[in-house]
Amino acid sequence: MSGRLADLGVDVAHLTICGDRPADLLAQLRFLAADGVDLIVTTGGLGPTADDLTVATVAEFAGLPLRQDPQIRQTIDTVIRTWRQVPADATLPDALVAAIDKQALVPVGARAIPPTGTAPGVAVPAADGRPAVLVLPGPPHELQAMWPTAVRTDAVVEAISGRVIGEQRTIRAYGLSEPDLAVTLREADDAVPGLADVEVTTCMRGGELEIVSRFDGTASATYDALADLLIARHGDKVFSTDASTIDDLLVSRLNGRTVATAESCTGGMVAARLTDRAGSSAYLLGGVVSYSNEVKTGVLGVPAELIAELGAVSEPVAAAMAEGARRVTGADIAVSTTGIAGPDGARPGKPVGTVCFGVAVAGRETVTVTRLFPGDRDSVRRLATTAAFHLLAAAL
Amino acid sequence: MSGRLADLGVDVAHLTICGDRPADLLAQLRFLAADGVDLIVTTGGLGPTADDLTVATVAEFAGLPLRQDPQIRQTIDTVIRTWRQVPADATLPDALVAAIDKQALVPVGARAIPPTGTAPGVAVPAADGRPAVLVLPGPPHELQAMWPTAVRTDAVVEAISGRVIGEQRTIRAYGLSEPDLAVTLREADDAVPGLADVEVTTCMRGGELEIVSRFDGTASATYDALADLLIARHGDKVFSTDASTIDDLLVSRLNGRTVATAESCTGGMVAARLTDRAGSSAYLLGGVVSYSNEVKTGVLGVPAELIAELGAVSEPVAAAMAEGARRVTGADIAVSTTGIAGPDGARPGKPVGTVCFGVAVAGRETVTVTRLFPGDRDSVRRLATTAAFHLLAAAL
Which secondary-structure segment (H or E) carries A144?
Answer: helix A140-150
Q: Which residues pair with A168 in a beta bridge?
A: A214
Q: How many CA atoms lie within 13 A of A381 on its CB side?
A: 24
CB-based contact A183 B96, cutoff 8 Å: yes
The pLDDT tens digits of the residues spanning B235-285 come to 999 999 999 999 999 999 999 999 999 999 999 999 999 999 999 999 999
Whether residue A50 has pLDDT greater than 80: no
Q: How many other CB atoms are found less than 10 A from the CB of residue A289?
A: 33
DSSP string, B121-134: EEEEPPBTTB-EEE
The pLDDT tens digits of the residues spanning B174-223 come to 999 988 898 899 899 999 999 999 999 898 888 999 999 999 889 999 99
- Rounded to a whole number of angstroms, the distance from the CA of A46 to the nearest CA of chain B is 11
Whether residue A151 has pLDDT greater than 80: yes
The pLDDT of residue A217: 85
B211-223 as b/e: b if 16+ CB within 10 A: bbbbbeeebeebb
Out of A160, A184, A204, a domain closes at A160
Instruction: Return the residue in A292, A328, A373 with the most chain B beta carbons within 10 A, the one to mutate for interface testing.
Output: A292
Contacts of A243 by beta carbon, 8 Å cutoff, 6+ apart: A169, A170, A172
Q: Which of A98, A183, A292 has the CB atom closest to B93's CB atom?
A: A183
CB-based contact A204 B139, cutoff 8 Å: yes
- Rounded to a whole number of angstroms, the distance from the CA of B256 to the nearest CA of chain A is 15
Contacts of B333 by beta carbon, 8 Å cutoff, 6+ apart: B254, B257, B258, B259, B260, B326, B359, B360, B361, B362, B392, B395, B396
Closest CA to A334 of A290, A392, A396: A392
Which secondary-structure segment (H or E) carries A272?
Answer: helix A269-274
Contact between A78 and A120 (Cβ < 8 Å): no
Query: Which residues in chain B are contacts of A295 at CB distance < 8 A?
Result: 285-286, 328-329
Query: Which residues in chain B are contacts of A47 at CB distance < 8 A?
Result: 178, 182, 202, 204
- Predicted structure pTM score: 0.90
Q: How many other CB atoms are found less than 10 A from the CB of residue B83?
A: 11
Q: Are residues A122 and A6 in the same domain?
A: yes
Contact between A173 and A208 (Cβ < 8 Å): yes
- Across A13-27, A161-175, A233-247, the highest mean pLDDT is recorded for A233-247
Query: Which residues in chain A are contacts of B276 at CB distance < 8 A?
Result: 267, 377-378
- B307 confidence band (pLDDT: 50, 70, 90): very high
The pLDDT of residue B356: 98
Query: Which residues in chain B are contacts of A200 at CB distance < 8 A?
Result: 50-51
Contacts of B305 by beta carbon, 8 Å cutoff, 6+ apart: none
CA separation, residue B373 to residues A2, B100, B370, B379, B383 (Å): 26, 52, 10, 8, 7
Q: Show the domain range for A205.
A: 167-244
Q: Are residues A118 and A199 in the same domain?
A: no
3-state secondary structure of B119: coil
Whether residue B16 has pLDDT greater than 90: yes
DSSP string, A63-92: T--EEE-HHHHHHHHHHHHHHHT--TTSPP
Q: Are residues A195 and A283 in the same domain?
A: no
Instruction: Return the residue in B2, B5, B11, B14 with the most chain A beta carbons within 10 A, the one to mutate for interface testing.
Output: B14
Mean confidence (pLDDT) of chain B: 94
The pLDDT of residue B317: 98
The pLDDT tens digits of the residues spanning A301-310 come to 999 999 999 9
CB-based contact A285 B291, cutoff 8 Å: yes
Whether residue B123 has pLDDT greater than 90: yes
Q: How many other CB atoms are found less than 10 A from the CB of residue B209?
A: 22
Structural domains in chain B (count): 3
Question: How much is the average pLDDT of A19-42?
Answer: 95
CB-based contact A51 B330, cutoff 8 Å: no
Q: CATH no. for residue A68?
A: 3.40.980.10
Helix axis angle for A377-395 and B140-150, nearest 10°, is: 160
Q: Are residues A218 and A143 in the same domain?
A: no
Query: Which residues in chain B are contacts of A35 at CB distance < 8 A?
Result: 27, 31
Q: Which of A95, A189, A381 has the CB atom closest to B187's CB atom?
A: A95
DSSP string, A298-340: HTT---HHHHHHH-SSSHHHHHHHHHHHHHHH--SEEEEEEE-
A343 preceded by cis ω (within 30°)? yes
The pLDDT of residue B285: 98
Q: How far apart are CA A182 and CA B52, in angstroms?
A: 10
CB-based contact A96 B179, cutoff 8 Å: yes
CB-based contact A376 B287, cutoff 8 Å: no
Q: Are residues B177 and B299 in the same domain?
A: no
SS (H, E, C) B184-203: HHHHHHHHCCCHHHCEEEEE
Contact between B99 and B51 (Cβ < 8 Å): no
DSSP string, B357-390: EEEEETTSPPEEEEEE--SSHHHHHHHHHHHHHH
Closest CA to A386 of A346, A352, A343, A355: A355
CB-based contact A267 B269, cutoff 8 Å: no
Percent of chain A with pLDDT over 70: 100
Q: Are residues A9 and A148 in the same domain?
A: yes
Helix axis angle for A140-150 and B377-395, nearest 10°, is: 160
Whether residue A389 has pLDDT greater than 90: yes
| Position A284, amino acid | L
CB-based contact A263 B261, cutoff 8 Å: no
B351 preceded by cis ω (within 30°)? no
Mean confidence (pLDDT) of chain A: 94
The pLDDT tens digits of the residues spanning A188-206 come to 999 999 999 999 989 888 8
Q: Are residues A276 and A358 in the same domain?
A: yes
Query: Which residues in chain A are contacts of B378 at CB distance < 8 A?
Result: 140, 276
Query: Which residues in chain A are contacts of B15 at CB distance < 8 A?
Result: 16-18
Query: Which residues in chain A are contacts of B139 at CB distance < 8 A?
Result: 204, 375
Query: Which residues in chain B are contacts of A291 at CB distance < 8 A?
Result: 271, 275, 280-281, 284-287
Contact between A223 and A167 (Cβ < 8 Å): yes
Out of B137, B160, B183, a domain closes at B160
Q: Are residues B175 and B196 in the same domain?
A: yes
The complex's ipTM works out to 0.90
3-state secondary structure of B32: helix
> From A183, which residue of chain B is nearest by alpha-carbon distance?
B95
The DSSP secondary-structure symbol of B280 reads: G
Q: How many other CB atoms are found less than 10 A from the CB of residue B91?
A: 8
CA quadruple A231, A235, A238, A243: dihedral positive or negative?
A: positive
Picking from A245-254, B39-48, B291-300, which range would have the lowest pLDDT averaged per residue? B39-48
Give the total residue count for chain A.
396
Closest CA to A272 of A361, A178, A351, A381: A381
Closest CA to A302 of A323, A288, A280, A279: A323
Q: CATH no. for residue A328?
A: 3.90.950.20
CB-based contact A186 B50, cutoff 8 Å: yes
Q: CATH no. for residue B224?
A: 3.30.70.2860
The DSSP secondary-structure symbol of A186 reads: H
Whether residue A6 has pLDDT greater than 90: no
Q: Are residues B12 and B149 in the same domain?
A: yes
The DSSP secondary-structure symbol of A281 reads: G
Q: How far apart are CA B34 and CA B291, in angstroms?
A: 54
Q: Are residues B119 and B212 in the same domain?
A: no
Q: Are residues A335 and A230 in the same domain?
A: no
Out of A101, A128, A160, a domain closes at A160
Closest CA to A213 of A166, A160, A163, A174: A166
- Rounded to a whole number of angstroms, the distance from the CA of A282 to the nearest CA of chain B is 9
CB-based contact A278 B189, cutoff 8 Å: no
Q: Which of A19, A179, A281 has the CB atom closest to B48's CB atom?
A: A179
Closest CA to B334 of B318, B343, B342, B323: B323
3-state secondary structure of A159: helix
The pLDDT tens digits of the residues spanning A351-382 come to 999 999 999 999 999 999 999 998 889 999 99
Query: Which residues in chain A are contacts of B325 at CB distance < 8 A?
Result: none
CB-based contact B268 A275, cutoff 8 Å: yes
Q: Are residues B120 and B258 in the same domain?
A: no
